[in-house]
């Protein structure tokens, strides 16, 4: 009788190595208050809009804000004698040959398949079929994602905070309007607050790594290294986040 026990031993060791590799990779997802459990390790992170409760009207309104006109288009026509004809306009995204507005497309999707939409946002594989809202690199994922992003967003939703007061008084303000009027740097937390996204409706995926470049620099927008900017631009090109860094 042939002894195949060596095969069991071989495949068992292979599975153990795969398991160890997966543990080393450490990919994890956190939502809401679970973000406080993010490890204090270097790595990549990506934020996703994933409503805790899929309310049709709220979800459509929030998703439509992602594609609200935030981009100014400027055309300059140079004429003789140094004269210039300048025109500024705000762009609007339209879909297909019928030029359907984004909000109408979102509403149509819910009209067509609301049970599917409910399932989609709750699917464990949701992130594989969705653009991230924001993506970045961190020397310390806990400090960057929890302290600088999650806690800042929670503060921005406080009715007494100056960001919340300004948005309440200027409901149509863009992220740039808030930055200019309150002298604030660009941040993910500010993007989310202006677009009306609460911390409970955001999910973040993190991927720790031991291969973080030494020149990445501190996790601060005020002292950004060239290595960090190069890598984050690379990630933005690959993933096309809705709210990329400016």
Cβ proximity of 63 and 49 under 8 Å: yes
DSSP string, 164-197: HHHHHH-TT--HHHHHHHHT----HHHHHHHTT-
Does residue 201 have a pLDDT over 90?
yes
Indicate whether 16 pLDDT > 90. no
**Can you give the pLDDT at residue 186?**
86
What is the model's pLDDT at position 20?
36
Give the pLDDT confidence of 214-223 residue by residue, as tens digits.
Answer: 888 888 766 6
Q: What is the pLDDT of residues 131-158, one digit of tens each?
A: 999 999 999 999 999 999 999 999 999 9
Residue 189 and residue 19: Cα distance in Å, rounded? 35
Confidence of residue 42 (pLDDT cuts 50, 70, 90): very high
Q: Tell which residue, 239, 206, 232, has the closest CA to residue 31.
A: 206
pLDDT for 12: 52
Rounded-to-integer distance, Cα 166 and Cα 185, Å: 16
Tell me what pLDDT residue 94 has. 85
13 phi, psi to nearest 5 deg: -70, -35
Query: What average pLDDT does the segment 13-32 reach?
Result: 59
DSSP structure class, residue 157: T
Q: pLDDT, tens digit, for every residue of 175-200?
A: 889 999 999 988 889 999 998 899 99
User: Most distant CA pair in the chain: distance in Å?
Assistant: 98
Bigger pLDDT: 245 or 30? 30
145 vs 139: CA distance, rounded Å: 11
């Amino acid at each position: 009788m042939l002894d195949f026990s060596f095969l069991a031993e071989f495949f068992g060791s292979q599975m153990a190595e795969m398991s160890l590799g997966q543990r080393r990779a450490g990919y994890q997802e956190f939502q809401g208050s679970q973000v406080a459990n993010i490890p204090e390790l270097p790595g990549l992170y990506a934020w996703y809009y994933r409503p805790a409760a899929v309310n049709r009207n709220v979800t459509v309104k929030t998703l439509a804000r992602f594609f609200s006109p935030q981009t100014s288009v400027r055309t300059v026509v140079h004429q003789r004698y140094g004269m210039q004809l300048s025109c500024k306009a705000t762009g609007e995204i339209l879909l297909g040959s019928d030029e359907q507005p984004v909000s109408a497309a979102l509403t149509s999707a819910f009209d067509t398949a609301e049970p599917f939409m409910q399932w989609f946002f709750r699917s464990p594989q949701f992130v594989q079929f969705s653009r991230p809202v924001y993506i970045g690199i961190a020397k310390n994922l806990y400090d960057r994602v929890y302290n600088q992003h999650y806690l800042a967003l929670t503060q921005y939703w406080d009715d007494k905070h100056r960001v919340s007061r300004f948005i309440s008084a200027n409901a149509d303000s863009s992220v740039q309007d808030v930055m200019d009027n309150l002298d604030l740097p660009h941040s993910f937390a500010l993007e989310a607050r202006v677009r009306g996204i609460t911390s409970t409706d955001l999910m973040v995926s993190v991927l720790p790594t031991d291969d973080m470049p030494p020149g990445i620099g501190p996790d601060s927008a005020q002292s950004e290294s060239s290595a960090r900017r190069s890598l984050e631009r690379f990630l933005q090109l690959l993933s096309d986040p809705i709210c990329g860094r400016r």
